[in-house]
Amino acid sequence: MKEFNKLIKILKRLRNPINGCPWDRKQTPHSLREYILEEAHELVEAIDIGSIEKQKEELGDLLLQIIFLSQLQREKNYFSIRDVIETITRKLIRRHPHIFGTTTVHTAEEVRQNWEKIKKKEKKKESILSDYPDRMPALSHAKRIAEQASSVGFDWDDPLKALEKVEEEIEELKQEISSKNSEKIEEEIGDILFAVANTARLAHINPEFALKSTNKKFIRRFRFIENSLKEQGKDINRTSLEEMEALWQQAKTGN
């Protein structure tokens, strides 16, 4: 595609060691990490707000980072963007034997389970669970490892059963809070969060996105409290919890 090739040529021009852009020439794989994360988050935000124009723009920004990093590795004779595309193409074909082979599946869940088994075989892993990066958000990590365990049948069959585990963990947390053992309290809170992430997964909800949505909702409602008190000429630092709670209930009516 000529547009894609044009973008690659522009990157090469920017990286020209003689008359290229000083900023682009200065970049390294290490320095690009923050931009890759930033662009990925901005793309997710564009999807969340449903902006088609923003999605188009942010997809371009993320694509730029992929091509940029590939160009840096090409300059070191490691690999090129062509190698990246060929690698993912081969992987898609290998991991869809029900499309490109003779395997038979009937549901999306069967496809997912088969994908995990093929992945384990390809990577010659001893465990069905992948080694995810430490930077991965913990809720997303919990969802993924639960999905992988599910591929071999280690799973609840509905979210209500998983919710019972959440309730069980809450009771255990209550006991540890009473004992004031901070290490055990931390452990039980972790167990609750994992159980909640698993319940969300079985309800077909991404726990990371659910929490982000709640964070935004909390910010909206708390700022309503702040603005309401400011309009009344009151200092939030001298406002009672009861009064703030009343304003919180007002904020809930407007979401």
Q: Whole-model pTM above 0.75?
A: no
**What pLDDT was estimated at residue 5?**
94
Q: How many CB atoms lie within 10 A of CB 9?
A: 10
What proportion of the chain, given as a percentage, has pLDDT over 70? 100
**pLDDT at position 59 over 80:** yes
Note whether 103 and 114 are within 8 A (CB): yes
Measured CA to CA, the distance from residue 247 to residue 224 in angstroms comes to 8
- For the ranges 59-63, 93-97, 154-158, which has the lowest average pLDDT? 154-158
**What pLDDT was estimated at residue 196?**
96
Identical fold at 2-93 and 126-205?
yes
Q: 130 pLDDT band (50/70/90 cuts)?
A: confident
Cα of 53 vs its chain's centroid, Å: 22
| CATH superfamily, domain at 2-93 | MazG-like (1.10.287.1080)
**What pLDDT was estimated at residue 255?**
66
Q: 216 pLDDT band (50/70/90 cuts)?
A: very high
Q: How many CB atoms lie within 10 A of CB 157?
A: 8
For the chain, the helix, strand and coil percentages under 3-state DSSP, each to the nearest 5: 75, 0, 25
| CATH superfamily, domain at 126-205 | MazG-like (1.10.287.1080)
Domain segments of the chain as ranges: 2-93, 126-205, 209-253
pLDDT (mean) for 34-62 = 95
